[in-house]
Structure 1
Amino acid sequence: MTTGVHSIEFVVRRRPGLKVDEIVPILDGRSLLDLIDRFEIDSGMKPAGGAYGGLIPAYLRHKSFDEHFLGAPFPGLSPKTAVLSCECGEVGCWPLMTRIIPTGSLVVWDAFEQIYRETRDYTKFGPFLFDRTQYDQALQALCAQITTTEDP
């Protein structure tokens, strides 16, 4: 992907193999799961491909998702923000972390890392720049969808 401005949406879908919903970021119409899998495979990383899953709202009740996706650090793991969890559903098991920097006109995702593989080089993955207005609208849609999904 280029470093121009990207579009983002947050899709809530049923996690394959589990009976819970997950949040998967979609960048320019492509799943972040697919993008990171392709990057890791092309970079010769092992394990690579299929190790990640979306974030499971039922497992992340410690903060709101608008705070989370605006760069709130993940307690106990990293000063960065988890944007994907492990394929098992647990963020602490195998997270993809990134620094999220909101500004007046942009939101930037950069400095990706896999915290359990410190020697991996993700410098060529991203940065991803998002128009702040479009990003905020995507977050509002996500929060509305999560609230609706959780209502009895």
Structure 2
Amino acid sequence: MIKREIRFDCRPRGEDGVLVIVPHIDGASLTELIDRFEIAAGMQPAGDAYGGLIPEFFRFGSMEDHFHGRSTGAIGPKTPVLGCECGEWGCWPLMTRISVTDDHVTWDAFEQPHRKTRDYSGFGPLRFDRRRYDEALAVLVTAISSNAG
């Protein structure tokens, strides 16, 4: 299985300035990657439906816990990695199972919980080197801290 590169883009959104987190996999935003997958699979609706996560709008807990799959009081055992383009993760989330070992972090079993019949088996799994994944999370935590207050 190919090990992917990840970074977590964290930027203020538009006029309200709330921070939005969008994972980037091998240089492409996860929103782009999932849009391409859903459009190619003929899913409707598809395209421009997802946005980043906005920690200010939901108590995700620490980003380390969240992106290690440990913080969720979300929908079942999976973790939201994207929310709706409107800013509310529960409206149109992309959920995944996050598995962590000493050496790897794996995102698999993707789903759109509001469309249970959708088949995401061709999307992922995404496997990351644990050390590099944790380094990307540390950059995210620093970015959030420097924008707080």
- Please say whether Structure 1 and Structure 2 have the same fold, judged by a TM-score greater than 0.5: yes
Pairwise CA RMSD: 1.4
1:146 aligned to which of 120, 144, 147: 144
Q: Deviations over 1:93-131 (max 9, x none)?
A: 110000000101000000000000000000000000000
Bigger mean CA offset, 71-80 vs 59-68? 71-80
Structure 1 ranges of 4+ moved more than 6 A: none
User: Kindly tell me: are residues 143 and 98 of structure 1, through their superposed partners in 2, closer, same or farther at Cα, counting changes over 3 Å?
Assistant: same
State the partner residue of 1:106: 104
Note the residue ranges of structure 2 that are not aligned, 5 or more in a row.
none
> C-alpha distance in 2, partners of 1:25/1:76?
18
* Count, aligned residues: 149
State the partner residue of 1:46: 44
Give the letter for the 1:81 counterpart: T
With the length of structure 1 as denominator, give the TM-score of the two structures: 0.93
The 5-angstrom pairing of residues 9-20 of structure 1 reads 9-16=7-14, 18-20=16-18
Identity among equivalent pairs (%):
54
Give the letter for the 2:84 counterpart: C
User: What SS does the aligned partner of 1:107 have?
Assistant: strand
Note the residue ranges of structure 1 that are not aligned, 5 or more in a row.
none
The 5-angstrom pairing of residues 21-32 of structure 1 reads 21-32=19-30
With the length of structure 2 as denominator, give the TM-score of the two structures: 0.95
Give the letter for the 2:131 counterpart: T
Kindly state the Cα deviation for residue 21 of structure 1 after the two structures are TM-superposed. 1.7
